[in-house]
Amino acid sequence: MELLPTIWFVAIAVLWTGYLFLEGFDLGVGMLMKVFARNNTERRVLINTIGPVWDGNEVWLLTAGGATFAAFPLWYASLFSALYLPLLLVLVALIFRAVAFEYRGKVDNPRWRARWDWAIAAGSFVAAFGVGAALALTTTGLPLDANGDREGGPFAWFSGYAVLGGFAVVGFSLLHGLGFLALKTDGEVRHRARAWFVRLLPVLLLPIAGWAVSLQLLSGEAWTIAAVVAAVVAAVLAWNFARKDAEGRAFLSLGAFLLLGSASIFGAAFPVVLPSTLDPAFNLTVSNASSSDYTLGLMGIVACIGLPLVLAYQAWTYWVFRRRVSAAHIPEAHSFLPAIAAKALAPKD
Amino acid sequence: MDALEIARWQFGITTVYHFMMVPLTIGLGLVVAVIQTLWYRTGKPEYLRMTKFWGKLFLINFIMGVATGIVQEFQFGMAWSEYSRFVGDVFGAPLAMEALLAFFVESTFLGLWIFGWKQLKPGVHLACLWVAVIGSVFSAYFIIVANSWMQHPVGVEMVNGRPVMTDAWAVFTNNTALVAVPHTLFGALAVAGGFLLGIAWYHLWRRRHDGIDTIGADGKVIPGEAAGILGRDRADHTVWIRSLRIGAVVAMISFAGTAVTGDLQGKLMFEQQPMKMAAAEAACHDGTGFSVLSVGNVGAKNCDDIVAVIEVPGILSFLAKGDFTTEVKGVNSLLDEYQAKYGTTLPDNPIYGDRAGQQIQYVPVMEVTYWGFRMMIGFGGVAALAALVALWATRKGTVPASRGLMRLAVFGILAPFGANAAGWIFTEMGRQPFVVAPNPDPSGIDQVFMFTAAAVSPGVSAGEILTSLVVLTSIYAVLLVVEVKLLVKYIRGGVASAMPELAHAPVDENEDGTPRGGPGKPDDDVLAFAY
């Protein structure tokens, strides 16, 4: 087994885990805009808990994608081209979601806000589902030919695993979002989020557990099976902490669940990065899909410098905005008399 | 149309669209950072107002650049999988570094800046904006390193039919990138300059039109106040005249910068991509003259169809080589060279699909290269000239009362955008038929080139790509309307639209000037500023 490609496989697993941990809760909060928040003030509470950080969290996706391109170009090329339409949906979802956060409050009009609320909720759902489906399929396989190209047309990627992976990330994100709200808000929203967290934990973690277990059945090893068991323990701990109002510990336990679950999934998949369902000889693996050692070494140095820095300043951001947000903090919408009345560009006035 | 052509349209549309937002983000970010620094050092309220107003417009635009940037990264793998496989070893690295070293910085620190007005000390808050803006400059650097490798591949060796990076220093100090980076940054500043100039002109004009500002006997402006409109006071006049002057100066400096760096690029292009140089000139025959205007069908491959009406001898030589006598090769002699070196038909290789065996069109679409080159220079020059005129016209402290001039200033905002778009369309279309252009330098690497026809994803159907083309283009169109609508709303709103504190100050303060409402409300304004 070559050393550098293996390290980079671990690095990419870490980047995806970091993405799911961080963007997981802001995707969850996004989905909760429609099903959880009861009025405009509560929606603004929700948005403002993730306001300063969601964009930084999303860069984890770009970094995971970019690192896959740099370290495993053949993996990147086969996975992204095979999943053309689902990834298009993810892109559309991310575009609307990003723009919605910024534009929602820019016009003081309920219809305007309602539209962007839908964009946030649906965008978060579709993005979470699509990323989950793509990740599940890269562990369970796609119909790839010898060149790594998809056979069987635009929907040949579809399988039960795509649905399972989609719901896995949606469910985890929803739960993680509830845990985050319990940690970051105060008052009514905080209590309701905690109650929902306790009540919904078993249901919301079921699909991700199903994905982890099915991968153990396909290609598990002793240590990855142990990781699944440990993840279940972490989930029970999270549930127990949340019940006892220890929101911080519940949040961290769910983080441990994700870490262990993702280790069990990526660990079981290793050394295959993208199996071919047509012929195992076409499997893309850590060794046959990777870049040269020179490039991997260079990127390794860059990652060793860059990643700790990212973690440090992102941690600092969370420290700066550590205060809980509550409905009492939300000011009136800013209305103003425009300096220039509309139609100023009209020919005569 | 087959998958290749649809994929090219999609890439082109996404890139040009993305690059409407990006230069404004980079340029305006730098300008806002400078203005906030002025406020930090002088404490003058007009600088705070300028920071908040231009900062608001900056954010409305920034998010669109973010949203379309993700498409950029994904579509290499989605639509151009053969390209990604071929170049991944060298091309993926700058993209990954862009995300890890630049975009993380930009996004995280911008979040701190947006929400940190009260939580952070003023110096730290200002530093966050600078860090974010410097992040965006690094972002531009890494992306241009990647693009420059497609224009001028260096630092690799061919191993098993793929270029493998052997010299990262050569890749990251590619001379093509080192001149393209400042050229792009000056282009971005030109956009910001025109943006400030046009909008500030509009506000000054409107203040005169509404009778707020008047002209004294000496011809100088007498700033006034509008009762009942928040923020329409004397300081408001200072905000706009200062913004206008900053914008005009930035526009002129950046045009000079683009001219100098563009000249360096021309000389590199002459060495590295001679066919692009010839196509920029639509020159069939070898020669030295630069045509200011050519008539006839510049796209025709038949040289007799093209007649240069106004031609300045020697200028083309100067652009290419720095003297007035070097013969610049025309399309005809280059065509023979390219065919001898790289073949006349696409090789019989499965990655070309049905396109194998087709004649290779080495001459780019000359209507595009010829006019793209001239639009870039023309729009840029017109904007710089307009900035000079604007400075002169406002020497007495406000703009002329003419409505026509005001309209010209407002629509002039588009000129630097046009120059940027034309420049990129020229340089990307001029590289065709290659997606990775061969490096003709004797020290260059044999066989490191790729025809665009080989780059598209073989497993993806034309229908899929067409779906994405239609979906993305429609979304871009809708979002452009939304963005412009919001920009117009906040521009018309003036400074008060970006400063809730201006509105609430008298209401929220007790008689001794302390904030009313107790300790629970100290960052009301901050949340209103954000979401």
pLDDT, tens digit, 9 for 90 and up, residues B454-499: 999 999 999 999 999 999 999 999 999 999 999 999 999 999 888 8
| pLDDT at residue B304 tops 70 | no
Distance CA B263, CA B258 (A): 8
Distance CA B400, CA A253 (A): 66
Q: B523 at the A interface (CB within 8 A)?
A: yes
Q: Which residues contact B279 (CB under 8 A, 6 or more apart)?
A: B331, B363, B364, B366, B369, B370, B430
Mean pLDDT of A36-64: 93
Cβ-defined contact of B92 to A291 (cutoff 8 Å):
yes
Q: B349 at the A interface (CB within 8 A)?
A: no
Cβ-defined contact of A334 to B500 (cutoff 8 Å):
yes
Mean pLDDT of B186-204: 96
Query: Which residues from chain A sit within 8 angstroms of residue B111, using beta carbons?
Result: 51-56, 317
Distance CA A267, CA A218 (A): 12
Distance CA A57, CA A22 (A): 6
pLDDT tens by residue, A133-155: 999 999 999 999 999 999 999 99
Distance CA A209, CA B493 (A): 52
Of A48, A59, A87, the CB nearest to B531: A48
Predicted complex ipTM: 0.92
pLDDT tens by residue, A160-182: 999 999 999 999 999 999 999 99
Q: What is the pLDDT of chain B when averaged over all its residues?
A: 87
pTM: predicted TM-score of the whole model, two decimal places = 0.92
Query: Which residues from chain A sit within 8 angstroms of residue B52, using beta carbons?
Result: none
Tell me what pLDDT residue A298 has.
95
pLDDT tens by residue, A203-254: 999 999 999 999 999 999 999 999 999 999 999 999 999 999 899 999 999 9
| pLDDT at residue B515 tops 60 | no
Tell me what pLDDT residue A345 has.
42
Distance CA A299, CA A302 (A): 5
pLDDT: is B8 or B298 the higher one? B8
| pLDDT at residue A326 tops 90 | no
Cβ-defined contact of B67 to A99 (cutoff 8 Å):
yes
Q: Give me B288's structure tokens.
A: 């030295």
Distance CA B225, CA B86 (A): 64
Tell me what pLDDT residue B286 has.
76
Percent of chain A with pLDDT over 90: 87
How far is C-alpha A246 from the chain's CA centre?
Answer: 24
Element (H, E) at B212: none
Distance CA A328, CA A249 (A): 26
Cα–Cα nearest to B137, from B64, B33, B213, B217: B33
- Structure confidence at residue A54 as a pLDDT band (50, 70, 90): very high
| pLDDT at residue B506 tops 80 | no
Distance CA A108, CA A127 (A): 27
pLDDT tens by residue, A190-202: 999 999 999 999 9
Cβ-defined contact of A149 to B482 (cutoff 8 Å):
no
Cβ-defined contact of A94 to B67 (cutoff 8 Å):
yes
- Structure confidence at residue B509 as a pLDDT band (50, 70, 90): very low
Q: Which residues contact B82 (CB under 8 A, 6 or more apart)?
A: A77, B351, B454, B455, B456, B457, B458
pLDDT: is B252 or B291 the higher one? B252
pLDDT: is B215 or B447 the higher one? B215
Of A77, A106, A331, the CB nearest to B84: A77
Mean pLDDT of A303-329: 91
Distance from CA of B124 to the nearest CA of A (A): 12
How far is C-alpha B2 from the chain's CA centre?
Answer: 30
Q: What DSSP designation does B355 have?
A: G
Decide if B56 contacts B502 (C-beta within 8 A): no
